[in-house]
Amino acid sequence: STSPDTKRCARGSPVTQLLLPALMVLRESPFPNRLLSGLYSLGQYLLFPSYWAQQQRRCCRCCPLRALVTGPLLLLLLVLSVPSALLGLLLWLPLQAARRPFAYKHNMLSRHPEVWELPGTGKVFSFVSANVCLLPNGLARNSNLGQMKQRVARIGQRLTQGEASASFASPRSSQLDGEGEAGPGEISVPFPPDLDFMCLQEVFDQRAGARLCQLLSPFYEHIVYDVGAYGLQDCCTLKVFGSGLFLASRYPVLAAQYRCYPNGIREDALSAKGLLSVQVRRGHWLPALGLLDPWLVTEPCPPPAHAQIRCGAWPRGGPWGLWGEYQDPCRVGPRQDRPWAIGTYLPPLPTLLMAPRVPRRTLEQEEGRRTYLAGPILQDGRPDPSAAGSPWEGRRIDYILYREHPAPISLTTEVEKFSFITQLAGCSDHVAVGLQLLLNPAPQ
C-alpha cells in the first residue's frame, strides 16, 4: 500500500522522512544480470586489440624513429583486428540499452564517518575536486602526460597520501581579503586527511577508472565510477568515452543519476560529458561533478535537501549561469577573485614542475604564476584583457560551489578553508582544489 508520505511526495509536497531502506541500495554492476555483463565484457575484449593499436599509433607520432620501426607492425595489427572489432561492436552497441550509466562499489570498512544528526552542533564536511587527465596515452600526450598505467598508480598514491601524512599548507596570509582579514585560502602540498568526498574529472579510460577504484576502496566505502552513456544511448551522437566523472564518498550513497550533455563539439564530441547527481545519507544533497545544467536527481520521496555542492571544471571562463544560485568561495564579483585565489590550469610545458613541493613554492610568487599558469579567458574563449596587469593569478577553471537550502531544515554555511593542492604535479595539468565547509543549524 502507498503511505501518506509517498502520496504527498508524488504531489510534490515536502517530505521530511528518509528514504526507505529498499530504496537506499544500489547494485554494484551496471547490468541487471551476469549474462549481459559477461557479453559486454566479451565485446570489450574483442574491441581492445583495435583500440590498443590505434592508441599506440598515436603515441608513435611523437617519435619518428619509433614510428619507422613499429608503425608497420601496428598498422598490420590494426588491419588484422578489424573482423574481431566489428564482432565486438555488434555486441557492445546493443548492450548499452541495458547498461545503467555508472558502476557502484561498496566496501565494508571498519571505520565509518561520524554520524551527524540535526538539530545539534555544526559539522565540517570536506570536499576535493581534481581533474586527473586519465585519457588514453595517445590523447594524454597532447598535455605531455603519457604512461597512463604508471600515472594512475602515482595518482592513487597521492590522493590517499594525506591519510597518513602531515599537511604542508602554506596560507597566503600576506594577502588580505576584502574585509581586511586573512582569507581562508591556502596553497597546500598533500590532500587533506579524512576527506569526506573525492570528486574527480577526466577519468576517461575504463582501465584507469577500475584501477583507481581499487586504490581508493580501502579509504572510501562508497565509489561511483565508469560514469557515462556509451554508444547512442541518451546522447545525440556516438560516444566511445564516458563522462570521466568519478566520486568517492565516506557517506552512504542513497541515489545516483547521470545526464548527458547533448552539445559536445570538437574534442568533446566522442565523450559523454554530463552531470552526475548523487544523494548521500545524513540529509545532505550533493549534486557532484556538475557543469552548467542545474538539473537534480529525481528519486521517489527524496529526504530534505540540507546543502548542495557543485564540483567540476569549467574551461570557458567559469560556471556561467550558476553564480546567481551558488556561492564561489574564491569569487568577489564578475572577473574578480579574492586576493588569495590562484589559477588551476597548467598549460603543456616540456619541463613541467614535477615535485609537488616545487610548484607550491613557485605558485606563491606572481612571477611563477605568470610562467606556469595559463592566462584568464572570456566566455567566448578570447584572452581576458582585464587580467593583463598586476596582480596576475592565472586561469581558474576548477571550482567547488555550494548553496544553502532554506527548507525544511535551514542551515548556515561557513567556509573554514579553501585549498589549492599541488600534490598531483607531474600527473595532471590541473591544480586540485579543496573545500572545508562548516554547516550549522540556523537559529530558530
Task: Give the domain ranges of the chain.
Answer: 34-97, 101-441
| pLDDT band at residue 144 using 50, 70 and 90 as cut-offs | low
**Cβ–Cβ under 8 Å, residues 326 and 401:** yes
Would you tell me which CATH number, out of the four given (2.40.50, 2.70.98, 3.60.10, 3.30.70), belongs to the domain 101-441? 3.60.10
Instruction: Give the per-residue pLDDT at 314.
Output: 83
Whether the bond into 119 is cis, omega within 30 of 0: yes
Instruction: Give the per-residue pLDDT at 413.
Output: 84
Instruction: Give the per-residue pLDDT at 178.
Output: 42
Task: From the candidates 222, 284, 306, 430, give the one annotated as an active-site residue.
Answer: 430
- Regarding pTM above 0.85, the answer is no
Q: Does the annotation count 405 as an active-site position?
A: no
Nine cell digits for residue 385? 584583457
- Decide which of 276 and 410 is more confident: 276
Q: What is the mean pLDDT of the chain?
A: 76
Residue 407 to residues 32, 323, 404, Cα–Cα distance (Å): 36, 20, 9
Min mean pLDDT across 12-26, 138-152, 219-233, 372-386 is at: 12-26
